[in-house]
Structure 1
Amino acid sequence: MGRAFANRNYRLFFAGQGVSLVGTWMTRLATSWLIYRLAGGDAPWLLGVVGFAGLAPTFFLGPVAGVFVDRWDRHRVLVVTQILSLLQSAALAGVAFHGGSGSIMIGLVVALSLAQGAINAFDMPARQSLMIEMVGRREDLPSAIALNSSLVNGARLVGPALAGMVIALVGEAWCFAIDAISYVGVVAALLAMRLTPKPRPPATGSVFGRLTEGARYAFGFPPIRALLLLLAQVSFATMPQSVLMPVFVARVLGGGPYTLGLLSASQGCGALAGALYLASRPSVLGLGRVVVGATLVLSLGLLGFSQSSSVWLSAVLIAAVGAGMMAHMAATNTLIQTMVDEDKRGRVMGFYGMAFQGVAPFGSLLGGWLAGRYGSRPVVLGAGLVVMAGGLTFATQLPRLRRHARPLYKKLGILPSDRPDEVAAVMASPPALRETA
């Protein structure tokens, strides 16, 4: 499970990221609470606007950002995005400390959320593309990706709880200030890394041409295309459940903040369990079945949650939703990163960010509109059916996708080759790689 920790660079990244992610989750909760406090009755609509502003830039900028990530030094890009995120959190703290008119403050928070979304559009492909350089060996990628997902969800449990105490004691502004300070840790960790510089191919052609080349590569190879399309479908359909959670708590379960906290913690625990399961797997082999299984667990959790009227049953079902979503996301990430060509990694991970985060705000907008017309239960029920349909469709395609991926896996040494000379090449590879094969 922890084999990625054998790499010094990854240990540094994990430690710095752990501190920073707690601050990030503090900012998310504090931003929502600040908007709620300032807006009063208009809070639901404005919360949707803030959420959309923070995620939508990934949809529009993610693929273009991937072009530049493939051209630039990924380590430097990540250092810059972390410094810019530090400045954005400091600006949020300044706005909150200064106070002023509610409408002006809300406008500034939305603008700063939009700025953070633009930063994240470059941060995600750079972060994902740098992972292979941090761990050094392709066979350690599954462990690194899954451990990073575990870290995100561990911070998801700690950050909001800490933010609640800080808001109650000294107000939202200090959450933003703590978040800004937390970025110092990850910047220091990045600067302390010792990475071997990798030569980049000369930047030829226009940005549009490079983007088109990346799109043809990503969507022209059936396994990557199928994984990206399923991820986009799952992200789009699952987002309304998160947005409508307060409605379920108040109107369906008859609860309040305690119930909302219980369900949020349950979903986080489920997601953490799903990530740890992925980290414990020794190889990428069989991850296609994991994608199918995780998607079906997610869909059944959504279907059950939409019909539940019991708080504790809902907590169990929402934990299944978290586990299924996280296992699906991490398995998809691992498969794509294992198969992608190095010179196109940034562009493909830009499309990954677009599928994972970019489509989510559009799903939340549609889900909110449908819930206003038909109610929250039918919307989440429909989301479960959409996710199940996607998972079953992917399952029928799995044998064909394996046939496309098998030659690549043989070339990488993940599967033994049919040719004696290639078998000899695999046996001459490092022991860890032979074990994976």
Structure 2
Amino acid sequence: MSEETSFRPGAQAPGEVPDNLTRSSTSDATGGGGMFRSLRERNYRYYASGQVVSLTGTWMQRAAQDWLVLELSGGNAAALGVAVALQFMPTLLLTLWAGVAADRFDKRRLLIGVQSALGACGFVLGLLDVTGVVVLWHVYALCLVLGCFAAVDAPVRQSFVTEMVGPAQVTNAVALNSMTFNLARIVGPAVAGLMITAVGTGWVFLANGLSSVAVVTGLVLMDPARLHRSAPLREKRGQLVAGLRYVRGRPDLITLMALVLCIGTFGMNFENTLAVLARNTFEREADGYGLLITMLAVGTLSGASLAARRSARGGPRLRLVLIGAAAFGALEVVASVMPGYWTFAVALIPVGIAVMTFTTSANATVQLSVDPTVRGRVMGLYMLVFLGGKPLGGLASGWLAAELGPRSPLMIGGLLSLAAALVAAGVLARRRAHGGRVGSRREGDS
């Protein structure tokens, strides 16, 4: 694209849509001050501190859950695909309604309840495992239950970022959230690999359940008076449809979400692909699988750090979203043909940098471009397209790994991601060439 563009944060009047591609000044987009400036907000410090502990436990559980499924199924890649599909399937049914709840109710209280439930899922699976009674259907059932709570958690948590830090700091806060997420992604699987080898998967699940106490404590300690809240949505019929209508009137958002859907479904298939590669292709144990996740996370943490630094120079750039998507697809293809364990592990680092560049810039771009009164519903739709394809992607990657070999999901997913980025760039360039802009519209129900 010939010209860098960004979305203007917080510039629109209540109930109006901002121009879909407008320039923003550095001062508007950042509020000044450094890579970690969002941590100046007391509430966000509490949240981020709890997230470091809780997300580490989450990634420990993910690694242990994948390994447990493989152990219980005799190394069946398709069984792992089913587990991934069950965990993400509730996203299709619940995420949009969770977005309505995020606009209507107190997000902080919603998160306290949901995070407590997520921790309880870890405790239940851990108890089943350490007592030796766990079977595959237990894991499948808990994947489904955990997916229900996670589907509610995602849009509420994403839209809560702006309430904690205000519109001027959203880009930086999203980048710091990604750094926290990926720091946990480095530490969690590595610890899980060691724990699985030493004491088994059950104690990993129990540790994750205990880690949820940290994020719940951080939410409880927040000062509600210091949150940057907009007026809550009045309860009335048609609010979900109105949110979808808002997005329908924004061709730029539709294009971006279509790109996110394709990459989230087919490109970001690491949950089961890496476990199958580690066990069946490279003949490694659980610690070898944990190392692959850690290497990917080294890249994603680096990408999140770069995003936090870029946020000091201005708001998110749509060009960066497209470059990140294209680079991710190409690098994923390169990683899929690496011949040995260590060359493959090293190739995951640039893959992680590219995917984090894409996801961080896409998330911030959407958050900053929408009317605050519909942010929860829009982020609900965003998380639906980001995660909603996971059931299909999980089943497809499991089938591909079983039929064409464990490397095939990475190669095919990378090619599809690259193609989607090129198509999205072409669509947006054509709209600009024809003078395409989205004017102001009223969001009638708010």
| Same fold flag (TM > 0.5) | yes
**Cα distance per residue 1:299-345 (max 9 Å; x no partner):** 11122123322444423432222111111111100000001111211
Alignment correspondent of 1:65: 98
Q: How many matched pairs?
A: 400
Residues 239, 361 of structure 1: 8 Å contact kept: no
Shift, 1:404, TM fit: 6.2
Residues 223, 404 of structure 1: 8 Å contact kept: no
Shift, 1:284, TM fit: 4.8
Q: Measure the CA separation in 2 of the matches of 1:401 and 1:66.
A: 30
Residues 133, 195 of structure 1: 8 Å contact kept: no
Give 2:265's match in structure 1, choosing from 224, 229, 236: 236
Residues 267, 416 of structure 2: 8 Å contact kept: no
Q: Which moved more, 1:220-229 or 1:85-94?
A: 85-94
Q: Does 1:372 align with 2:405?
A: no
Q: Measure the CA separation in 1 of the matches of 2:142 and 2:378.
A: 27
Give 2:109's match in structure 1, choosing from 62, 66, 76: 76
Q: Does 1:193 align with 2:222?
A: yes
Residues 284, 334 of structure 1: 8 Å contact kept: no
Shift, 1:179, TM fit: 1.4
* Match runs of 1:56-135 below 5 Å: 56-100=89-133, 102=134, 105-135=135-165
Q: Measure the CA separation in 2 of the matches of 1:405 and 1:187.
A: 43
Q: Measure the CA separation in 2 of the matches of 1:42 and 1:253.
A: 13
Shift, 1:267, TM fit: 1.1
* Match runs of 1:104-253 below 5 Å: 105-136=135-166, 138-196=167-225, 198-205=230-237, 209-240=238-269, 242-249=271-278
Q: Does 1:8 align with 2:42?
A: yes
Alignment correspondent of 2:299: 270
Q: Measure the CA separation in 2 of the matches of 1:93 and 1:246.
A: 20
Q: Which runs of 5+ in 1 are unaligned?
A: 409-437
Q: Measure the CA separation in 2 of the matches of 1:87 and 1:192.
A: 21
Q: Secondary structure at the match of 2:92?
A: helix
Shift, 1:201, TM fit: 2.9
Q: Which moved more, 1:230-239 or 1:12-21?
A: 230-239
Q: Measure the CA separation in 1 of the matches of 2:333 and 2:261.
A: 19
Shift, 1:401, TM fit: 6.2
Shift, 1:139, TM fit: 1.9
Letter paired with 1:65: A
Q: Measured at CA, do residues 148 and 404 of structure 1 come closer, stay the same or move farther in structure 2, by a change above 3 Å?
A: farther
Tell which has more relative contact order, 1 or 2 (C-alpha 8 A, sep 6+): 2
Alignment correspondent of 1:52: 85
Letter paired with 1:56: M
Q: Secondary structure at the match of 1:308?
A: coil
Q: Secondary structure at the match of 1:385?
A: helix
Q: Secondary structure at the match of 2:89?
A: helix
Q: Measured at CA, do residues 110 and 169 of structure 1 come closer, stay the same or move farther in structure 2, by a change above 3 Å?
A: same
**Cα distance per residue 1:244-298 (max 9 Å; x no partner):** 3345456666766665444322211111111111111125546211111111211
Q: Secondary structure at the match of 2:74?
A: helix
Letter paired with 2:187: V
Shift, 1:50, TM fit: 1.8
Q: Measured at CA, do residues 98 and 151 of structure 1 come closer, stay the same or move farther in structure 2, by a change above 3 Å?
A: same
Alignment correspondent of 1:435: none
Q: Which moved more, 1:390-399 or 1:243-252?
A: 243-252
Residues 328, 417 of structure 2: 8 Å contact kept: yes
Q: Does 1:331 align with 2:365?
A: no
Q: Measure the CA separation in 2 of the matches of 1:405 and 1:337.
A: 19
Q: Measured at CA, do residues 94 and 248 of structure 1 come closer, stay the same or move farther in structure 2, by a change above 3 Å?
A: closer
Q: Which moved more, 1:118-127 or 1:320-329?
A: 320-329
Letter paired with 1:221: R
Q: Measured at CA, do residues 43 and 377 of structure 1 come closer, stay the same or move farther in structure 2, by a change above 3 Å?
A: closer
Alignment correspondent of 1:317: 347
**Cα distance per residue 1:195-253 (max 9 Å; x no partner):** 23643131111xxx222211121232112111111000111121445533345456666
**Cα distance per residue 1:379-430 (max 9 Å; x no partner):** 433322211111112222344469767978xxxxxxxxxxxxxxxxxxxxxx
Residues 77, 402 of structure 2: 8 Å contact kept: no
More helix by share: 1
Give 2:391's match in structure 1, choosing from 361, 374, 387: 361
Q: Measure the CA separation in 2 of the matches of 1:46 and 1:303.
A: 24
Alignment correspondent of 1:413: none
Q: Measure the CA separation in 1 of the matches of 2:63 and 2:235.
A: 41
Q: Measure the CA separation in 1 of the matches of 2:409 and 2:77.
A: 17
Q: Secondary structure at the match of 2:60?
A: helix
Residues 4, 143 of structure 1: 8 Å contact kept: yes
Q: Measured at CA, do residues 371 and 276 of structure 1 come closer, stay the same or move farther in structure 2, by a change above 3 Å?
A: same
Letter paired with 1:94: L
Letter paired with 1:290: L
Residues 139, 283 of structure 1: 8 Å contact kept: no
Residues 259, 311 of structure 1: 8 Å contact kept: no
Q: Measure the CA separation in 2 of the matches of 1:133 and 1:199.
A: 11
When the two chains are superposed, the root-mean-square deviation of aligned CA atoms in Å is 2.5
Q: Measured at CA, do residues 370 and 312 of structure 1 come closer, stay the same or move farther in structure 2, by a change above 3 Å?
A: closer
Q: Measure the CA separation in 2 of the matches of 1:235 and 1:51.
A: 13
Q: Which runs of 5+ in 2 are unaligned?
A: 1-34, 441-446
Residues 66, 347 of structure 1: 8 Å contact kept: yes
